[in-house]
Amino acid sequence: MTTRPRVGVLALQGDFREHAAVLEHLGADVRLVRRPSELSGVDGLVLPGGESSVMEKLARAFDLVDPLRQAIAEGLPVYGTCAGLILLADRILDGIAGQHGLGGLDVSVRRNAFGSQLDSFETELRIPVLGEPPVHAVFIRAPVVEAAGPDVTPLASLPDGRMVAVQQGRLLGTSFHPEVTGDTRFHAYFLDTVRSAV
């Protein structure tokens, strides 16, 4: 496509500014999404890290849940990091009472799988779709994917086998935060998905 892809970033809570900066650096036309009208016309959407239950409550308050679910069901490319991955998951194993997320990604995730903020960590991950060198991955109160359906492709796992990056068609999810490391390959990979979908 010759025009800049229009990528929305859900901007209700969390590190949406960091995602917007990376996407703009890569040449995307970034739109901050807080209302249903701001969702229309985007070619792709990023669900940032933050607090998944707070994001869901705010999305309900701004009447965004149904439009987001519809956009995902209609094939909008979506990339969720950390809390965004939780929002995309069809099944949340340890959600708070009433937490349902948006769904679309046929995975079961466990929130805060590594413990509290004090248990955050960094590691190197080999991710074949991104090539070399390994990705320096930052995990902050991160979820993990404990089970995935047959149409889900694992992109990266920890040494113990737990999945921390997955893809299902136009949906992409990572447990970690590439927007804070200066490595733009995951965002570039997502933009390739967006361009191919337009």
Q: Please say if 100 is a catalytic residue.
A: no
Catalytic position from the list 19, 56, 177, 187? 177
Catalytic position from the list 56, 82, 100, 146? 82
The three-state DSSP-derived secondary structure of the chain is CCCCCEEEEECCCCCHHHHHHHHHHCCCEEEEECCHHHHCCCCEEEECCCCHHHHHHHHHHCCCHHHHHHHHHCCCCEEEECHHHHHHEEEECCCCCCCCCCCCEEEEEECCCCCCHHHCEEEEECCHHHCCCCEEEEECCCCEEEEECCCCEEEEECCCCCEEEEEECCEEEECCCHHHCCCCHHHHHHHHHHHHHC
Q: Please say if 177 is a catalytic residue.
A: yes
Catalytic residue set: 82, 177, 179
